[in-house]
Structure 1
Amino acid sequence: MARKNEYNYFDAFVNLSKFSLNSAEILHNTLRNFGTINLSDKIKEMHEVEHSADIAKHDVVNRLLKEFLPPIEREDIISLSQKIDDITDAVEDVLIRIDIFNVKSIRPEILEFTQLIVDCCNSLYLALQEFENFKKSMTLHSQIVKINSLEEEGDKLYINAVKNLYQKSKDPIELMIWTEIMHRLERCCDACESVADDMHSIVMKNS
């Protein structure tokens, strides 16, 4: 627990997760309104979020270097900070690939995937709000379980989407583009689950 006037690492985790949630919302809204917006502006907006997240992550590490007695193990703070930041990076990667591959329209299942990523990031944000009180929280465990369940939904969606793609298209360029994009989307869900797994491990070590 953070004492009064001390740097609160748990608040920092929540702040980092806000960047992830923001990036997921930008991705979903950009693809949902694809064709009616300026993609380059959205990429710039996304990069600004990613850059701010990097600064926030470095602040956590810099604070930790000066910390005498952190509330949880240093390695756990560094790992959790990095893995939350990895989500933001993974989400940005999707939008970058959309631009690189010169995508002209968005497949319906892609919007299902981006909504799932928003849900996953939101559940993670709620879980991290509870994380500081992990010894007493009545909802943290259920939030972690929900993130794991959403990741499983992501796996199923990825398998079905790729299978459907290869059943309906024989165009090698189209197959290459959407296989890569779907893989990047699935990695976003994996990144969320990785944070949830870290949280569970920290709870178990400190309970």
Structure 2
Amino acid sequence: MISSKKPDPFFVSLLKIAENVRDSAHYADDFRINTVADLKEISVHLKNYETAGDTLIHELIVMLNKSFMTPIEREDILELAIRMDDILDGIDNFTAHLEMFSLIEIDESMRTFLGYIVKSTDEIVKAMELLASKKLLKMHEHSILIKDYERKCDDVLRSSIKQLFLNEKDPIRIIQFKDIYEQLEEIADYCQNVANTLETIIMRNA
């Protein structure tokens, strides 16, 4: 059982990583794309979030290598950090593909995906705040919500691809939109991976 003293520096580091991921998701969701130039702007900003995330991961690894004792298994700390970083990489990849395709049409399906991804990252931050406060059992409700959002993204993927093949006649656009939809659903999978890691940490330490 983890003691309930002041926040551990490892948990504080994980919270910073989560907050950076959340901020990147909110930025991607809030940004409104009207021109091809906007695609470049959002791609550059998301790359900045990714760079910041890489720095935070590096700092955590250095801390792990220097520390003899960790509040939970060091493998779980690193796994959680990497799983959160996957989300950030996925968001960056999504915007990079928008720019590569010069795709300025962010349709309702994409907005729905992004909405669930934003909600998932919000829950991840809440879970990290609980971890920093050493309230592990309370993290469970947030992992459940994240998994529920991922299931909803599965439904969005199926319906959006079905509508795409029914309504779109241009094969190039079908390829582009299908690729974007699948990338967004993959980000939701990354969020679920974080939830699964949280469950493992709860099981081992609560």
Same fold by TM (over 0.5)? Answer: yes
Percent of aligned positions that are identical: 25
Q: Which residue is equivalent to 1:20?
A: 21
Match of 2:85 in 1: 85
For residues 144-183 of structure 1, the aligned pairs below 5 Å read 144-183=143-182
**1:99-178 alignment to 2 at 5 Å?**
99-134=99-134, 136=135, 139-178=138-177
**CA deviation digits over 1:61-120, x for unaligned, max 9?**
000001011111111111111111111111111100100011132212111111111111
Q: Is the 8 A contact 1:2 1:9 kept in 2?
A: no
CA distance in 2, matches of 1:179, 1:57: 31
Match of 1:59 in 2: 59
Distance 1:163 1:200 in 2: 33
Cα deviation code 1:163-188 (max 9, x no counterpart): 11111112210110001000110011
Q: How many angstroms does 1:45 deviate by?
A: 1.2
**Aligned residues: CA RMSD:** 2.0
The answer (yes or no) to whether the contact 2:136–2:202 under 8 Å persists in 1 is: no
Following the alignment from structure 2 to structure 1, what is the Cα–Cα distance between the partners of residues 91 and 147?
18
Residues 80, 169 of structure 1: CA spacing in aligned structure 2 closer, same or farther, 3 A cutoff?
A: same
Shift of 1:4: 7.6
- Structure 1 runs (4+) greater than 6 angstroms displaced: 2-6
The more displaced of 38-47 and 11-20 is 38-47
Q: 1:9 corresponds to which residue?
A: 10
Q: Distance in 2 between matches of 1:87 and 1:2?
A: 30
Question: Quick one: distance in 1 between partners of 2:173 and 2:133?
Answer: 48
Distance 1:197 1:177 in 2: 30
- Residues in 1 aligned to 2:104 and 2:144: alpha-carbon distance in whole angstroms: 37
Structure 1 partner of 2:202: 203
- Letter in structure 2 aligned against 1:20: V
Q: Contact between 1:2 and 1:8, CA under 8 Å: does it hold in 2?
A: no
Letter of the 1:82 partner, please give it.
Answer: I
Q: Which blocks of at least 5 consecutive residues in structure 2 are unaligned? A: none
Structure 1 CA distance, aligned partners of 2:108 and 2:189? 21
Determine the C-alpha separation between the residues in 1 that align with 2:15 and 2:156. Answer: 28
Matched residue pairs, number?
204
Specify whether residues 72 and 138 from structure 1 end up closer, same or farther in structure 2 by C-alpha distance, changes over 3 A only.
closer
**Counterpart Cα distance in 2 of 1:18 and 1:119:** 13
Distance across 2 between alignment mates of 1:181 and 1:99: 11
- The CA deviation at 1:125 is 0.9
Provide the C-alpha distance between the structure 2 equivalents of 1:3 and 1:69, rounded to a whole number of angstroms.
Answer: 16
- AA paired with 1:65? N
Paired amino acid for 1:19: N
Structure 1 residues not aligned, in runs of 5+: none
The aligned residue for residue 40 of structure 1 is 40
Matched, 1:189 2:180: no
Contact residue 8 and residue 71 of structure 2 kept, 8 A: no
Give the TM-score normalised by the residue count of structure 2: 0.92
Instruction: Give the 3 Å change call, closer, same or farther, for CA 74–59 of structure 1 in structure 2.
Output: same
Q: Distance in 2 between matches of 1:170 and 1:164?
A: 11
SS of the aligned residue for 1:119 comes to helix
